[in-house]
Structure 1
Amino acid sequence: MNFLVFLGTERASTPPRPARLGERVAAACCRRLDAYGAAHILVDPLEIDLPKPFKPHFSYAKGKAPFQLEELEARIASADGYVMVSPEYNHSMSPSLAHLLNHFGSSLFSYKPSAIVTYSAGQWGGARAAVNMRTFLSELGCLPVSAMVHVPQAQEVFDGDGAYLAGTDKDRWDTYIDRTIRQLMWWAEAANRQRASGDLPAPAAFRSAPSQRNAPD
């Protein structure tokens, strides 16, 4: 299985402290994927120069999109599933994560599962953002698995490399995170077999314009 782990933060300044707390959480997710032998790539929005003003990938003429969009499009298309790591902003998902994902049509994500992982420096662990993310990811086509991960006070759980800090109940956290990872892998394997069979609903999700999904006039 091959997964993309999307890091939903760009802010490298403080507050919050430590800066880019999501890096720790994303690294911890990668570590648990490693434990199951799953290949993965971390997608960091700070490493992607998105076009300004906003222009989605599918609106470019074939072969004319910026290289980084082309590269990420290929990775999204080839992945078997996705881990979406996000903080909470005003009871919603990270604006940087939504902005990045909005560059790509649902046909790239369709018929693949996703996992929702949220975090915070405070006590709620971004749980309210997760409610918003279920709607967003379902519309994108990569339906979230039922289990989710919420990490309150993440700076007290993980160090800068995503390893557990001293005094953390490692076994309990592994069990908690693995519930989501194992669901993601189960659904990814099932979806992979079904996609390979060629038995996909038709017509496909839009590839050039959202109007392709409109009801008849």
Structure 2
Amino acid sequence: MTRIAIIIGSTRPGRNGEAVANWVYDIAKQRTDAEYELVDIADYKLPHLDEAAPPSLGQYTQPHTKAWAEKIASFDGFVFVTPEYNHSTSGALKNAIDFLYGEWNNKAAGFVSYGSVGGTRAVEHLRLVMGELQVADVRAQAALSLFTDFTDFTEFTPAAHQVGAVEAVLEQVVAWSGALAQLRKAA
């Protein structure tokens, strides 16, 4: 069965991302088209990139990198739950992505973002990064506003229509993950 990771893209104390990712995961668990798993980058305690060799060589030496690589390699696709910090994604998520290369290749990615303008600028940056990693990013996106999908900017209270946006992301990520399976086999 296709395996999709829902990745919490923030490590900030008091982060909104955990509530958002849990909500996405609850929606995903109701589906039967893939196996979904919640992955928290905070659990891997990745320091600022500390591998001597470029990730494209796959010569990982650090135990945290090896654990992260094993986890990411086990998936066919990803849904990144990302905040928008200063018109981009979180440094923690970018760092976690940059630790690896081959483990991302020929897989699909979708985005659920949040911020003052729905996190759309963070996703714009992530789409560029995904292209370099040979990840097919899907068009659908759920963009959550701190003004309308949160109470007092901290309590996650998504508008009802956002469920459909998440469903569209999941649908496309699963479809593209399946379509890319032949490329993963060939690699």
Q: Give TM-score, length-normalised by structure 2.
A: 0.83
Between Structure 1 and Structure 2, how many residues are aligned? 181
Determine which of 177, 183, 189 is the counterpart of 2:166: 177
CA distance 1:75–1:98, change in 2 (3 Å): same
Match of 2:125 in 1: 132
Distance 2:74 2:29 in 1: 19
Match of 1:148 in 2: 141
Match of 1:100 in 2: 96
Structure 1 residue identity aligned to 2:6: V
CA distance 1:103–1:61, change in 2 (3 Å): closer
Match of 1:65 in 2: 62
Q: Is the 8 A contact 1:32 1:181 kept in 2?
A: no
CA distance 1:90–1:135, change in 2 (3 Å): same
Match of 2:24 in 1: 29
Q: Is the 8 A contact 1:56 1:103 kept in 2?
A: no
CA distance 1:169–1:43, change in 2 (3 Å): closer
Match of 1:86 in 2: 82
Give the greater-gyration-radius structure (CA). 1
Q: Per residue, is there more strand in 1 or in 2?
A: 2
Cα displacement string for residues 137-196 of structure 1 (whole angstroms, at most 9, x for unaligned residues): 11122121011110002424xx97x7xx4xx653x2221211111011111111124534
Unaligned runs of 5+ in 1: 13-18, 201-217
Structure 1 residue identity aligned to 2:177: A
SS in 1 for 2:37: strand
Post-superposition shift, 1:11? 1.1
CA distance 1:7–1:56, change in 2 (3 Å): farther
Match of 1:75 in 2: 71
Match of 1:191 in 2: 180
Structure 2 residue identity aligned to 1:132: H
SS in 1 for 2:136: coil
Identity %: 25
Q: Give TM-score, length-normalised by structure 1.
A: 0.73
Cα displacement string for residues 41-71 of structure 1 (whole angstroms, at most 9, x for unaligned residues): 2222221122466226847856x431x3222
